[in-house]
Structure 1
């Protein structure tokens, strides 16, 4: 599972333990955005996953028994209000990211004006 198979289509996963629907969107190498419920509340998680026991030999064949992929420690859980806040500031974050990517030099006051506008 490389996480980039098709970023446009969500991978539906139903947790067998409690029958909770989780919708996963791959966004990178073993990194997924997951929308679901935790402790009865809606949550959006961005988390890196890892393969359990990748060093074990696959005695059943490469495709007959899929290796188990588990959520790792690296990630963040957001409630719906936090996600809405991210959506609100996304344009400003994009501007800041472009400044960093392009390694532009701005006076601090000019940068604050550029990010604050819109």
Structure 2
């Protein structure tokens, strides 16, 4: 797989060990406690049900990880579906948001 599309292991954290994310109930109680960050204590921002974004360090490199999770035994676990963007890719995406929005708007108007 090319380095530009490097994907983090589905179940490994920064140190390469398995650490399943907290369940939804714990996340909701954290959100109610306040604070400026929209990220939970696990460093995840919920995009939609079972889809999260996080900023992670993996093998000394920083990635923006967008991933689907699934529920098993009451716990949310990372799935295979997802993408990890390195800093360069993330900045390119950010720089092109307006053009992406224009394309999206054009497609929705059809």
Do both proteins adopt the same fold according to a TM-score greater than 0.5, normalized to the shorter chain? yes
Equivalent position to 2:65, from 45, 51, 55? 45
Q: What's the CA shift string for 1:7-66, capped at 9, x where partnerless?
A: x721121xxxxxxxxx2100101100011111111011100000124xxxxxxxxxxxxx
Tell me the C-alpha RMSD between the 2 structures. 2.0
Flag the structure with more relative contact order, 1 or 2, with Cα contacts below 8 A and sequence separation at least 6. 2
Greater Rg by CA: 1
Equivalent position to 2:54, from 18, 26, 34? 34
Q: Secondary structure at the match of 1:12?
A: coil
Q: Report what 1:77 is aligned to.
A: 84
Alignment of structure 1 residues 1-118 onto 2, 5 Å:
1=24, 9-13=38-42, 23-53=43-73, 67-103=74-110
Flag as ranges the 4+ runs of structure 1 deviating above 2 A: none
CA distance in 1, matches of 2:41, 2:90: 20
CA distance in 2, matches of 1:29, 1:68: 14
Query: TM-score, structure 1 length as denominator?
Result: 0.61
The number of residues matched between the two structures is 79
CA distance in 2, matches of 1:77, 1:90: 17
CA distance in 1, matches of 2:81, 2:108: 24
